[in-house]
Chain A
């Protein structure tokens, strides 16, 4: 099946630290990866769409300089939370979409990583 690995699963760090989260598609090539943020008991909030070899597309209200996304290869995307503060504490989850044009791949589900619980002290 399609497996997505997200690392680390949990991070606790001091305010001001930068944190990098990795998202890897293990058995397929992912031309598109998504980064979500989820608050307790709420739905997923899309932060950005990451396309291999190009700049990420950020959703309105998401700070590009705060949440740096790099999609350097077809199997790896990283999210770096720069100078993290307590308000950045959240559950971050990535997903990957198998390659192919949207019209041809309409039945492809997003395959999610297990998420990262980020706690900034």
Chain B
């Protein structure tokens, strides 16, 4: 079974609008970490935001926030006030405590329309 599922291969959003990128995960561990990365066309992977499974509040980092619904096993990324520079691939990832390995989703390509 897929550890991380991103069901939106491509998304479009109008500049200055908010957009939600979906991510669901599968784990039997109680302790785990969820991460979002941004990959522009240049290729580098940029760490955006982290959510721990025991964190009671949703993580926020500037314009990025994570809508964490533990019971549904979802960790959606919300980008507010989209900018043209937000156009990129976005990957959701999970780390389980049993090892150092991260599991990545298939990614969502976000295009911000001026």
Contact = CB atoms under 8 A, between A and B. Distances in A.
Contact of A106 (B31, B46, B93, B109): B31
A107 interface: yes
Contact of B101 (A49, A109, A117): A49
B32 interface: yes
Contact of B47 (A42, A91, A111, A114): A111
Contacts of B44: 112-115
A106 B31 CA distance: 8
A102 B33 CA distance: 11
Interface string B92-109: 010101111110111101
A95 interface: yes
A109 B35 contact: yes
A106 B52 contact: yes
Given A43-B91, A44-B91, A110 B43 contact: no
Contacts, number: 61
B97 A91 contact: no
Given A43-B104, A49-B101, A97-B100, A107 B33 contact: yes
Interface string A9-50: 000000000000000000000001010000001111010010
Q: Which 3 A-B pairs have the closest CB atoms?
A: A112-B45, A115-B43, A109-B47
Interface of B: 31-33, 35, 37, 42-47, 50, 52, 91, 93, 95, 97-102, 104-107, 109
Interface of A: 32, 34, 41-44, 46, 49, 91, 93, 95, 97, 102-103, 106-107, 109-115, 117
Given A44-B91, A114-B44, 20 more contacts: A32-B100, A34-B101, A44-B45, A46-B101, A93-B45, A102-B98, A102-B100, A103-B97, A106-B97, A109-B37, A109-B47, A109-B50, A110-B47, A110-B93, A110-B102, A112-B45, A113-B44, A114-B42, A114-B43, A115-B43
